[in-house]
Chains A and B, each alone.
Chain A
Amino acid sequence: SSDDDASGELTPVKLQLQWFTQAQFAGYFAAVDQGFYEDVGLDVTILEGGVDIVPATVLDSGAADFAISWVPRGLVPREEGLNITNIAQVFQRSATLQVSFVDSGINGVGDLAGRTVGNWGFGNEFELLAGLRSVGLDPDTDVSLVQQQFDMLALVSGDIDAAQAMIYNEYAQVLETVNPDTGELYQPSDLSIIDWNDVGTAMLQDAIWADADKLEDDAAYRETAVKFVEASLRGWAFCRDDFDKCADIVLAAGPTLGDSHQRWMLNEINNLIWPSPQGAGTMDAALWNQTVTIATSEGILKSAPTDGAFVSDIASEALANLTADGVDVIGNGWSPKTIELKAGGE
């Protein structure tokens, strides 16, 4: 609801992303562009991420008010002593895949045995490790794990048999690459993917994090948090309903490259959010438990997170406001688009 009394005086808010500007964060850019934040009295500055920037650290230091971070990458700092909390679970699914070429004969997790398997580390590897174990493979001995670069060259040039890829980004990159044998782009039919959501070892990804101490002590901050979540979700709903406009907003925000690539990404991101059966931003308890179980069994967390690792009251308040305003926060009507990738993602 936009019945804000302090009209004119906007509260400055800084949001730390976990990577550079791209459609992965479309909802926030849309909310800025469409004035959703301003409507609730916030003046939001979006801070891009960097290779070595950890959103949780920035959030804790006070250099940002809210941060976007994957759940495991928020829980570990919490265990290390940063009192941060997940206030809205935006993505309802994991986007991580293990991609290989069809002719390599890898059709399931079991086929990874004896193969050279790439991963990025940074906590991205736990879905893979748990997946391997789920079919009885020992990651230390049965496969050869290697550090992967940012790009997909190692897969394309055959150095590794299966590469880690985000469905919204690196997977698309392979499809934007010319296959030297045919002179055409690689086709989805050339690739075989392992989706951790299907294997059952998926972990939760992008969520909005806030400073737990301040939520406790500072009523104004808590109120800001509700407004922030509300306007952000409104942004995500906008990106679902007005796909092309949202894509244009992201492109205008200046990722250096890739018109078709950003559209592909936006489409896939929408797939990760919508539908949200309990309402966008609400924690899916089963997935939370799965995430925590894998994190602890793989040793990423020493023990299960303490209470308060996520809170649901803020998201519920925000959802209530949105529902009252007639915004569809479930998104049952969302159906994925067909995006045609162009060479180089142009």
Chain B
Amino acid sequence: MTARDEMAREIRRHERTEATRRTLRRIGVFVVFLVILALAYTGYKAFGQSLDDAQTDWPMIGRVLPRTDDLTMPPVSDIISEFTQPPQRNSDKPLAAFIAEAALFTMREAVLGFAFGVIFGLGIAVVLLRSKWIEQGVTPYLVASQTVPLVAIAPIVIIWGSTSLDWLPFEWTNWMSVSLIAAYLTFFPVAMNGIRGLRSADPAAMELMRSYAATRRQTLVKLQLPASVPYLFAAFKIAATAAIVGAIVGEISGGVRGGLGRLILDFASRYTTGPSRLYATVIGAALLGLIAIGLVTAAEYLVLSKRKEEPLAL
């Protein structure tokens, strides 16, 4: 028995190093790919500019293909060097540090928003599961809810947060309202994929549960939720980036300072005076998204490998 345990541990260790190696390899491949993309970007720019210099007009450019001047497509070298340069003359903190701090701030909002959204989305999926009638009645409005732009929602949430939540044991701050806004974007994919996943349980297995006179709750916990795991992880991946985007946009709508949203707005509104700052910040936001999806994928890997299923390599 102990020898067996010993061996199992050994194997797990091996699997872990394998997984690490694979992850590193993937990161390596992606970095190489990014370098290629950067070269393509530079090449395209050079091509476009040579056309410009030659005074020839290429109808695609500016229509299907982007324009190539330095203001619209800042050189890659500018973008990279921007990271190391302080965005403020009176401090020598490089832009990368600004972005990192802001990313942490946004991440906090996004994590909370993701949690709210997942709980809410799953809750909706479970309620909708109760009857086809409820589902048919409610789903169109869930869809409609997602077409309401934040400009209409943000003021409601922010004002409600700062006027109606004073009974909470802690102080409700605006960044928490931003999390609610993020949750508004997160719950939808979770609810949609959730209901699909909950319904994906094998009909034979549903019958088995019925034959045990299992309660709705037991069927949910023991059968439908496990069956929906692949769907849910797909949803979590969509929701993870949605939470970040929601947090960033919520910061901008609601005027919350400290996160990537403010940084992006600042740089965007001063685009002509330094386009590469915006590009650099956007890269920071994308990186944050990669990290978030990485975390979800790690969780998926843990859950599915325990279930002996093949996780989707994402």
- Chain A residues with CB under 8 Å of chain B are 20-21, 47-54, 57-58, 61-63, 149-153, 156-157, 173-174, 176-177, 180, 251, 254-259, 343-346
Contacts and interface: CB of A to CB of B under 8 A. Distances in A.
Given A50-B154, A52-B151, A257-B270, A57 B256 contact: no
B161 to A, nearest CB: 9
B273 interface: yes
Contacts of A62: 163
A62 B88 CA distance: 36
A170 to B, nearest CB: 8
Q: Which of A21, A149, A153 has the most CB of B within 10 A?
A: A153
Interface secondary structure of A, over-half rule: loop
Interface string B239-269: 0000000000000111111000011011011
A150 B268 contact: yes
A63 B163 CA distance: 6
A195 to B, nearest CB: 22
A51 B265 contact: yes
Size class of the contact patch on chain B: 35 or more
B271 to A, nearest CB: 4
Interface secondary structure of B, over-half rule: helix
B162 interface: yes
5 closest A-B pairs by beta carbon, nearest first, are A50-B255, A150-B269, A52-B253, A151-B271, A344-B273
10 contacts: A50-B252, A50-B256, A51-B151, A54-B155, A149-B268, A151-B271, A152-B271, A177-B272, A256-B88, A256-B98
Given A50-B256, A156-B71, 14 more contacts: A20-B255, A20-B262, A53-B253, A54-B155, A153-B72, A173-B270, A176-B272, A180-B71, A251-B90, A254-B257, A256-B87, A256-B262, A256-B266, A343-B273
B254 A50 contact: yes
A52 B151 CA distance: 5
Contact of A151 (B90, B254, B269): B269
A174 B272 contact: yes
Contacts of A176: 270, 272-273
B159 interface: yes
Contacts of A49: 255
A258 B162 CA distance: 31
